[in-house]
Amino acid sequence: MRVLLLLLLPLTLAGAAEPDIACQGDSSTVYGKLKTVDANATKRTKALYANLRKISSRHILFGHQDALAYGVMWREWHKKKSDVRDVCGHYPAVFGWDLGKLGKGEVNIDTVAFNSMKSWILEAYKMGGVNTISWHLDNFVTNGSSWDVGENVVSAILPGGAQHEAYKARLDLLAGFFKSLRKGFLFKHDIPIIFRPFHEHTGNWFWWGQPYCTAEEYKELWRFTVKYLRDEKEVHNVLYCYSTDVFKDKEHYLLCYPGDEYVDILGFDDYQDVQPENDPSELTRQLRLLVNMAEERGKVAALTETGLESIPEEKWWTERLLQPVKADPVASRIAWVLVWRNARPGHHYAPYPGHASIPDFMEFCKDPLILMEGELPKVYKWNRREFRQGEFSAERKALKVKP
């Protein structure tokens, strides 16, 4: 037996290196023909992108920020737990995380331990869910938070700027985190991630917002970030998502757009138009514009953040969120919608046991348009026959959300 194990060991170690090998930009393969920002993206990363494009023609994945890390009145449960699952029987399909404070301590801006986050990202992936990561990066000039505005920090971290080397050091940490997200013991592979840096830049609350840098500086920062992670650090398990806050028109949305070769997913964050006092048709209008811009470029569209704090409207889910999305057949072709975190009774964006909006949330989840984790197809596997036919042939599973 020992001899057999010794003979098999070299083969085992060779296979453990990376079976999900990057595509190397080979246009002769089915994966190589799919254009992503990273031509060498892993097969699973490209499969995720292809499946998001396909799913968005029929369904929308539901997402929740920090879903496994904590909820209302609980933190770091000893088993998998989620407020969403506790009220509807399914985990979210999309799991949002944030890497703010990476390299400055053991926890992020919401006191989520980075080591625990890695475990939860793995759990979400094993469930077949999608992981998306934002980055509330601290101010490099003042050492304040993302919300410490006023200085032109972007120019300071661009090549030639006083803080450029500090920014590259932070990118090194980010690359290390992304490359540490792996599944398997011997036959390891990278976990695909959707990365959403420098988000909501049409607003004025982050130091990378439009009032604090020029459009060209923002574009240069985005391009440098992508090229450094992809080409210098060889991070190949990332899809890049460009997401604004609310926008007036296409020109406004694309003002800081770095170019099709640097963006995989077009998203936007909208907390404004889902408020009771505002016009929900504005959400529909912007989603239609977003989807049109994405489809013109062969890309994915998503409502990357939204929600109403504490959900005081009992029918908010169906009337304020679902109806505006379904009001237009183009607007409904977004890949996912993500609501923010559940931190405490006064600050939450999804229902928890006993919440008044649960019956309406159940109706929201049961809608044929919405997919939860238990209803997902295999998003990390590309069914070539289905894509050749241009048809998402796998019917939605006959799983119902539980009361």
pLDDT grade, residue 185 (50/70/90)?
A: confident
Angle CA 365–369–372, to nearest 5:
45
In a domain, 396, yes or no: no
DSSP for 138-196 reads PPTTT---TT--SS-HHHHHSTTSTTHHHHHHHHHHHHHHHHH-EE-SSS-EEPPEEEE
357: tokens are: 């909006």
Q: At what angle do helices 114-126 and 164-180 cross, to 10 degrees?
A: 40
Model pLDDT for residues 226-254, shown as the tens digit of each residue: 999 999 999 999 999 999 999 999 999 99
Contacts of 62 by beta carbon, 8 Å cutoff, 6+ apart: 84, 92, 93, 94, 336, 337, 338, 365, 370, 371, 372
Number of domains in the chain: 1
In a domain, 34, yes or no: no
- Residue 87: phi, psi to the nearest 5? -100, -20
| pLDDT of 21 strictly over 70 | no
Q: How far is CA 94 from each of CA 10, 127, 206, 228, 388, rounded to the nearest angstrom?
A: 38, 11, 25, 27, 26
In a domain, 403, yes or no: no
- Between CA 284 and CA 392 the distance in angstroms is 25
In a domain, 24, yes or no: no
| pLDDT of 155 strictly over 80 | yes
Catalytic residues: 200, 305
pLDDT grade, residue 386 (50/70/90)?
A: low
In a domain, 378, yes or no: yes
In a domain, 5, yes or no: no
In a domain, 169, yes or no: yes
Q: What's the longest Cα–Cα distance across the chain?
A: 74
What is the percentage of the chain residues whose pLDDT exceeds 90?
A: 84
Helix, strand or coil, per DSSP, at residue 387? helix
> What single letter denotes the amino acid at residue 280?
P
In a domain, 26, yes or no: no
Model pLDDT for residues 265-320, shown as the tens digit of each residue: 999 999 999 999 999 999 999 999 999 999 999 999 999 999 999 999 999 999 99
| pLDDT of 137 strictly over 50 | yes
The model carries a pTM of 0.91
Model pLDDT for residues 347-379, shown as the tens digit of each residue: 999 999 999 999 999 999 999 999 999 999 999
Helices (H), 245-357: 250-254, 281-296, 323-326
What's residue 123's pLDDT? 97
CATH number for position 335: 3.20.20.80
Helix, strand or coil, per DSSP, at residue 399? coil
Determine the structural domain holding residue 195 and report its residue range. 43-389
